[in-house]
Structure 1
Amino acid sequence: MVNKIQKIRISIGSAVVLGLREIKVDTYPSTCYLMTYTTSQCIGKCSFCPQANGTNKKYADNLSRVQWPVFDWEIFLNNLKENQKLNTELRFKRICIQVLNYRGFFDDVLYIIEKIHTIYPDLNISTAIPPISSKKMEKLHNAGLERIGIALDACKPTLFAKIKGPDNHGPYSWKKHWKSMKEALTIFGNGKVTTHFIVGLGETEEEMIKSIHYTIERNILPGIFLFTPIKGTPMALEKRPPIESFRRIQLARFLLLMNLQNLSRFIFKDGDLVELNNFSNKELRALINEELPFLTAGCPDCNRPNYTYRPGDEPSGFPRSLTFEEKEMVYNELRSLVSI
């Protein structure tokens, strides 16, 4: 082991499942979400993120709209041990490590992966991490990392530069992110490299859907999340796009990912998806009943409850099966795309 960490951040929902917090939650997470701990801020300057350099430290316990309290590392390991003994739905199926960008972050995440994988070799581990060298990726893979995520967030180069790149005095570049993802494919393999897009940063539906398609064609799994304005960030006053827009992108992503529709059949007008050629009302109903297009879109076993919506609100990505009423709601949000 190259390092020994003392503290770890754990999402509040994961902490509840581990018995480290006692609060009421609507849905339990199926993945244990961790975040590397540092006393400094992330050097990234992503405009939407409360962890970013220059963001009000009052909100440093948040990532998106979820709280990530700090816990002792050894206490976490002890409670994870008890969790993995369970034979119920509360037993975590995956560990996901959110990695902040700070001096020494690689040694920290390498230690976390090595330690967990040594104790629980059958527990899949993912990480969302800043771009790193292929040599470092190989070390993470050899340590037990099952898949790696390098988030683009923005779906086109100009928006990337504005939100998290050089136009915002950030450390990231579109080309380096793509270079890192392509190198990761040679190490982790097709389908084991992910990226994330945030819907609502200023792109059109057409731009987002075409970027999702481009990513899928290159064997990278694209997850999508709905933009959530967070207090203390530069984008705190920006508006979320309508849920209907997110639903259209959810449906498009699933159809492209499953190779159920060709991109040429997507009809756009003024940047919005307005119609799907040769896609019937019956097919739409069947997909809604299947539910998969509208569940949280990330790694396998990732459900992220309340990550981008408030408890009691309509979920953007559903963290659980949909009720009959919710299926009807989703149908009404999408029925304009198909002929009756």
Structure 2
Amino acid sequence: MRWHELKAELLAIGSCRLTGADASGYIESSAAGPGAGGEGSVFFSMDGKRIRLSISPDSPVEIRHDGDGHVHLSFGKIDATGILEQPALHCPRQAYITVSGNCIFSCKYCPVPLNKGRVKTPDEIVGMIESVINRIDSISITSGVIGSIEDDEKRVINVLERIKGLDIPVGVSIYPGPETPDRLYSEGVSEVKFNLETATSALFEEMCPGLSWDAIIMSLDRSVALFGRGNVFSNVILGLGETDEEMEACIRLLTGRGVIPVIRPLTPAAAVASYKRPSPERLLRIAAIHWDALKNAGLDTGEARTMCTYCTGCDIVPGRDCE
């Protein structure tokens, strides 16, 4: 079984049971993204490729830790040997930091508003980065929205001003206001990720009340003009009720604009907790479409330096996980 096929099988489950020797040093706890507020997760790596799996005592996937990060993964007929990667902050090789751990919006798929997280200070964030500076290749900043979109942007800008002197790529993923791309560009940010979240505007209106699909598209277009093709990204969740045809149209809409889509398998949570994760077969179908769209648009995920496309833990990333 090739890596991307194994990864599709595991992403369709999304979790693992962690057994064997103590592996607490390899467990990561998230304030945002898949698994936010859960029991933590681990990064399983084989031949230089990785997947992030949430820890659950009920998972059919077992990862047995034999010590020193060496593990055996088993699930049905699958038996694989690999390692656990030690996260820096949120994921391996990055300081991926959530500034505001709460949000005033109530996107139906997102558990962050339920977690009642706090706002980190710039001093605290600088200290976090300094604590892992020898183990990271990049810094990524994300945030929920507390107060207003403008307040959130100001908090992120304050952090960026504090870390300007570091010679390391910085990526930012926040909900954008009209001037956000220009302000982030002026702060020396390397890459941005503004999340379209759903494959259609109608589904966006249903899932993200109070937010604007068209405003995100405008921010993505402005960002490509500033940062260049292939340096702008957008998460699109797979499994919210869209058809394959709708997902393909969204992927090609983004790649045609110079944006690299991040196709994120749904983690059922919050108001969509009863939904199902995408099947391995669907993950592979969409990955093939994604890969074709990237090639046709001349976009290379291998050039990503920050955020999700650099990490690859939560998604199948054509060009990194498969060719």
> TM-score surpassing 0.5?
yes
Unaligned runs of 5+ in 1: 1-10, 15-21, 62-68, 165-169, 262-291, 308-315, 328-340
Instruction: Say whether 1:200 aligns with 2:249.
Output: no
1:301 deviates by 2.3
Q: Which of 177, 183, 199 is the equivalent residue of 1:132?
A: 177
Partner of 1:258: helix, strand, or coil? helix
Q: Specify the code of the residue in structure 2 equivalent to 1:77.
A: V
| Worse-superposed segment, 179-188 or 73-82 | 73-82
Indicate the residue corresponding to 2:24 in structure 1. Answer: none
| Aligned counterparts, 1:252-271, within 5 A | 252-259=289-296
CA gap 1:123/1:13 in 2 versus in 1, 3 angstroms: farther
Q: Is this contact kept in 1: 2:251–2:290, CA < 8 A?
A: yes
Q: Which of 280, 296, 302 is the equivalent residue of 2:311?
A: 302
Q: Specify the code of the residue in structure 2 equivalent to 1:95.
A: I
Q: Specify the code of the residue in structure 2 equivalent to 1:317.
A: I
CA gap 1:60/1:249 in 2 versus in 1, 3 angstroms: farther
Indicate the residue corresponding to 2:274 in structure 1. Answer: 237
In the TM superposition, what whole-angstrom CA distance separates every residue of 1:299-330 from its partner, at most 9, and x where no partner exists? 55223x4x5xxxxxxxx538xx98xxxx9xxx
Whole-angstrom CA distance in 1 between matches of 2:224 and 2:178: 13
How many residues of Structure 1 are paired with residues of Structure 2 in the alignment? 235
CA gap 1:109/1:76 in 2 versus in 1, 3 angstroms: closer
1:30 deviates by 2.5
How much is the aligned-residue C-alpha RMSD, in angstroms?
3.4
Q: Is this contact kept in 1: 2:237–2:263, CA < 8 A?
A: yes
1:222 deviates by 0.8
Instruction: Say whether 1:105 aligns with 2:152.
Output: yes
Q: Specify the code of the residue in structure 2 equivalent to 1:107.
A: K
Whole-angstrom CA distance in 1 between matches of 2:125 and 2:297: 42
CA gap 1:106/1:162 in 2 versus in 1, 3 angstroms: same
Provide the TM-score with structure 2 as the length reference: 0.63
CA gap 1:256/1:193 in 2 versus in 1, 3 angstroms: same
Q: Is this contact kept in 1: 2:171–2:307, CA < 8 A?
A: no
Partner of 1:259: helix, strand, or coil? helix
Q: Which of 104, 126, 144 is the equivalent residue of 1:43?
A: 104
Task: Indicate the structure with greater strand content.
Answer: 2
Q: Which of 156, 161, 166 is the equivalent residue of 1:114?
A: 161
CA gap 1:160/1:23 in 2 versus in 1, 3 angstroms: closer
1:298 deviates by 6.3
| Aligned counterparts, 1:45-84, within 5 A | 45-52=106-113, 57=114, 59-60=115-116, 74=123, 76-84=125-133
In the TM superposition, what whole-angstrom CA distance separates every residue of 1:87-125 from its partner, at most 9, and x where no partner exists? xxxx2122111121222211110011121222x1x2111
CA gap 1:152/1:243 in 2 versus in 1, 3 angstroms: same
In the TM superposition, structure 1's runs of 4+ consecutive aligned residues that sit over 4 Å from their partners are: 22-25, 69-73, 297-300
Whole-angstrom CA distance in 1 between matches of 2:119 and 2:152: 16
Whole-angstrom CA distance in 2 between matches of 1:82 and 1:127: 20
Provide the TM-score with structure 1 as the length reference: 0.60
1:238 deviates by 1.1
CA gap 1:226/1:60 in 2 versus in 1, 3 angstroms: farther
Partner of 1:177: helix, strand, or coil? helix
Whole-angstrom CA distance in 2 between matches of 1:260 and 1:251: 14
Q: Is this contact kept in 2: 1:31–1:96, CA < 8 A?
A: yes
Q: Is this contact kept in 2: 1:146–1:192, CA < 8 A?
A: yes
Indicate the residue corresponding to 1:162 in structure 2. Answer: 206
Indicate the residue corresponding to 1:332 in structure 2. Answer: none
1:180 deviates by 1.9
Partner of 1:201: helix, strand, or coil? coil
Q: Specify the code of the residue in structure 1 equivalent to 2:130.
A: K
Bigger radius of gyration? 1
CA gap 1:174/1:80 in 2 versus in 1, 3 angstroms: closer
Unaligned runs of 5+ in 2: 1-27, 32-39, 44-83
Whole-angstrom CA distance in 2 between matches of 1:24 and 1:163: 29
1:202 deviates by 0.4
CA gap 1:81/1:229 in 2 versus in 1, 3 angstroms: same
Q: Specify the code of the residue in structure 2 equivalent to 1:12.
A: S
Identity of aligned residues (%): 24
Q: Which of 282, 288, 291 is the equivalent residue of 1:251?
A: 288
Whole-angstrom CA distance in 2 between matches of 1:71 and 1:99: 10
Indicate the residue corresponding to 2:18 in structure 1. Answer: none
Q: Is this contact kept in 2: 1:94–1:301, CA < 8 A?
A: no
In the TM superposition, what whole-angstrom CA distance separates every residue of 1:228-275 from its partner, at most 9, and x where no partner exists? 112xx11111111212101211122112202399xxxxxxxxxxxxxx
Q: Is this contact kept in 1: 2:122–2:158, CA < 8 A?
A: no
Q: Which of 258, 265, 268 is the equivalent residue of 1:219?
A: 258
Indicate the residue corresponding to 2:210 in structure 1. Answer: 171
Instruction: Say whether 1:33 aligns with 2:33.
Output: no
